[in-house]
Amino acid sequence: MIDNFIDAHVHLNTRSTAKIELAKEWNAGFLSINTNIPFFESLEKQEEVVHDLQKKYPDRIKFITSFDTQYWNTEKWLPHALEQIKKGIAHGATGVKIWKNIGMDKSVKDANGDFVMVDDSRFDTIYAYLAENDILLIGHQGEPRNCWLPLEEMTVNSDREYFSSHPEYHMYKNPEYPSYEKQMLARDNMLRKHPNLKYVGLHLFSMEYSLDEVAKRLDKFPNTKTDLAERICHVQLQAMKDREKVREFFIKYQDRIIYGTDVIDDGSMDEKDLTEKFKTLWQNHWSFFATSKELSAPEFKGVFHGLELPQDVLGKIFRENAKETYGFKSCK
């Protein structure tokens, strides 16, 4: 693995230290993304955990803050959300996250009972505040496109297995929810309305199925970047079909792609299993991007070859872009 790399998309929601000791061993850093997820602790408690880890391991961890939908459809909502954002930034957050609950949560609807999307005018004050104060927004909107497809049409086993076990989240079976296309259109509309907003489209802009579509957004919205978190298997699937096209994508957009794994440290794994998961992902991902080895992935059948990207490109994807975007220094 490249020296001094950054896993710029994780959720460090426990105070266990084994993963940080592993990062020290690998000379790595973490970006922990606090998120308004129902099964996570509150945003305030997530921040407390990160601060405790930062005290023990200065310079190795940065974090992203967020806001919730408490008081939704009341006059209290916007002041409350802005206060959460301001407090998070004042406490050291390096940006703000907006999550897929906007557009996919039945409790976040308008007075007519329609789902509220990220381009809703009620968010404009937040976006304007972020842009005016040069604060980064990172966004996870929608789900993988597979979520809206029948199981037999899904492209990777991990999605097929997950939505088989959790049909309540399988949008193909929930047609009353906004479509995948509406999710992506709302995100694009938001970026079009706020061209000065600095934005990272997480999970390959939620367009993991087509690097062509990701490229269109990077071209159309020059203030944006993207990350690879939890979507590298989709890149590998495309590399199996056309390795050179995938390789050219990473070379062309080398300044705008950020490495991350999306590992969730919520206490459900013991420390040994958690550190092994990090090591396995880091090693496998590095082999794909840095070598030309013949490889396979558990998410789909078949073999593919690593991209063997140039060293300077690897340095940007695994380190420099995260340093520039999230304010990392050298990990110590």
Amino acid at 3: D
Instruction: Tell me what pLDDT residue 169 has.
Output: 87
Q: Does a structural domain hold residue 123? A: yes
DSSP letter string, 278-300: HHHHHHHHHHHHH---EEEETTE
The residues with which 33 forms a beta bridge, in sequence order, are: 64
Q: Whole-model pTM?
A: 0.96
- Is 332 a member of any domain? no
Residue 251 lies in a domain: yes
Rounded CA gap, 63 and 327, in Å? 10
Q: What is the pLDDT of residues 201-255, one digit of tens each?
A: 999 999 999 999 999 999 999 999 999 999 999 999 999 999 999 999 999 999 9
**Which residue, 92, 109, 94, is CA-closest to 176?**
109
Provide the greatest CA pair distance for the chain.
57
Task: Please determine, for residue 305, whether its predicted confidence score (pLDDT) is greater than 70.
Answer: yes
H or E, element range at 32: strand 29-33
Give the CATH number for residue 311.
3.20.20.140
d(CA 160, CA 265): 23
Q: So what's the pLDDT on residue 332?
A: 56
Residue 1 lies in a domain: no
How many domains does the structure of the chain reveal?
Answer: 1
86 is written with which tokens? 């301001």
> In b/e form, how buried is each residue of 140-173, taking b as 16+ CB within 10 angstroms?
bbbbbbbbbbeeeebbbebbbebbeeeeeebbbe
Among residues 249, 230, 319, the alpha carbon closest in space to that of 11 is found at: 230
Mean pLDDT of the chain: 96
- Please check whether residue 86 lies inside any domain of the structure: yes
State which residues form the domain around 255: 6-326
Closest to 67 in 3D by CA, of 77, 56, 52? 77
Give a yes or no: residue 308 inside a domain. yes
Answer yes or no: is pLDDT of 161 > 60. Answer: yes
Is residue 314 pLDDT above 70, yes or no? Answer: yes
Asked if the structure places residue 331 within a domain, the reply is no
Q: How far is CA 317 from the centre of its chain?
A: 14
Reported as a pLDDT band with limits 50, 70 and 90, residue 1 is confident
Does 176 map to a domain?
A: yes
Side by side, the strands of the sheet bearing 96-98 are: 257-258, 224-227, 199-201, 137-139, 96-98, 61-66, 29-33, 6-12, 263-265
> Which amino acid, one-letter code, is at 43?
L
